[in-house]
Structure 1
């Protein structure tokens, strides 16, 4: 893996823990940090030692408390038409590796958008979520207007964006924004437990399932079913499928090779 300015990376037996390291500003996301995240999205696809990624924030107050407003204020208006943050998060969402957001505090604005671009979200009981951009005269421009309604429904998404309300972890779980809420001191333990369950499964099956779910959500139901059929046909021809079924019948742990 390359060099990162505002991210700390630690590979623990195939689970890559990524920590946004700007605790002094509650892990606010400046452009350097977004560039780091974009670089990460590219590199994890080609790193066979990485099976699952967990993203969290440094300290115990914030996952990422939004975008750095000084950077946004100084940015020329025309730059909003460039891929920017939206492009970074689309690339992160489209990685072939499962990504878990371990939300340890505030996940506001761009921080909430980052969490939504991950596949799964585990939150500490201290987690706080909100798309607060209209408070400062903008809208969620990193994909938030599209991802939030797909997670919680159009009406609730409009309510949260229009009002700028900040909700706690329990409410976030209730509406489907968060998968699981755990005690604050158990956040990484719970996130790693979830990651280990994923790494125990056939990697090609997880990869294809992620792709089919994401693409299926962006198309009509019959097309989604067709994608599912094609993916299943592909998996039927893999060594992992033979190994998985044989191991089940022989009542032993499978030895998946990703082939």
Structure 2
């Protein structure tokens, strides 16, 4: 395992998994432009690194992120917000091609919740609290919080989160589909890493294609999304990994994938 630190983000590599840990405990891991830009940069680099097959984003066992840094947010005008590094960073995170597991403990609010929702799987600690409290500040979510809940939970919880600022605990999040699994808080990093390692063991080209197919329904109608799925599947059939996967199945042995 290798590690580095910068801009309140700890960066580690273990096997084929990149672990990005938000590390600003005095502010409950509130997101500032430096943190978001570092996350975006590391995810962009991961997309170009064939040795990385999955990513974990976490804040550790106490808090994922209590939201955006309010001091920074309060300084924005309408024009500066539209051109802000924060918006560009969230857009970059959403475009990441590698599968991302969010390991969420404690507060996961506002921009922090939107960051978790931008990931592919959400593992929640039993102390996790999800919410979009922006309405209580006279604003609304601006990085997906009015849209991304719907794909996981349907419109009811999303409407309550956006209009009332209601919080959701870990078990409710699991019941409504916001979280994919609930684990003890002290195991949040371990459980998230285990999930990412399981993803990393699959054929990497297929994992990226599956993520692309799953995301297409958000930007395409059903007919176009189905056509995109067929196109992605057809492209995989010409890969060495697909040939290896079918050969391993027929030969009753574990496959060895190389991302080709």
Report the TM range for the smaller structure's normalisation: over 0.9
Aligned positions, number: 258
Whole-angstrom distance in 2 between the partners of 1:37 and 1:52: 14
What residue is the counterpart of 1:73 in the other structure?
Answer: 74
What residue is the counterpart of 2:38 in the other structure?
Answer: 36
What residue is the counterpart of 1:24 in the other structure?
Answer: 26
TM-score normalised by the chain length of structure 1: 0.95
What residue is the counterpart of 1:258 in the other structure?
Answer: 259
| Structure 1 residue 84, shift from structure 2 partner | 4.2
Contact kept in structure 1, 2:4 and 2:10, CA below 8 Å: no
Contact kept in structure 2, 1:90 and 1:117, CA below 8 Å: no
What residue is the counterpart of 2:103 in the other structure?
Answer: 102
Whole-angstrom distance in 1 between the partners of 2:146 and 2:252: 47
Confirm or deny that 1:154 pairs with 2:121. no
Contact kept in structure 2, 1:85 and 1:141, CA below 8 Å: no
Unaligned runs of 5+ in 2: none
Contact kept in structure 1, 2:5 and 2:11, CA below 8 Å: no
| Structure 1 residue 38, shift from structure 2 partner | 2.0
Whole-angstrom distance in 2 between the partners of 1:54 and 1:241: 26
| Structure 1 residue 224, shift from structure 2 partner | 1.2
What residue is the counterpart of 1:187 in the other structure?
Answer: 188
Whole-angstrom distance in 2 between the partners of 1:150 and 1:85: 23
| Structure 1 residue 48, shift from structure 2 partner | 2.2
Whole-angstrom distance in 2 between the partners of 1:2 and 1:45: 19
Unaligned runs of 5+ in 1: none
What residue is the counterpart of 1:82 in the other structure?
Answer: 83
Kindly provide the CA deviation profile for residues 122-160 of structure 1, in whole angstroms up to 9, marking residues without a partner as x.
010000000000111110001211212222112321111
SS at 1:256 equivalent: coil
What residue is the counterpart of 1:244 in the other structure?
Answer: 245
Confirm or deny that 1:126 pairs with 2:122. no
SS at 1:191 equivalent: helix
Contact kept in structure 2, 1:85 and 1:142, CA below 8 Å: no
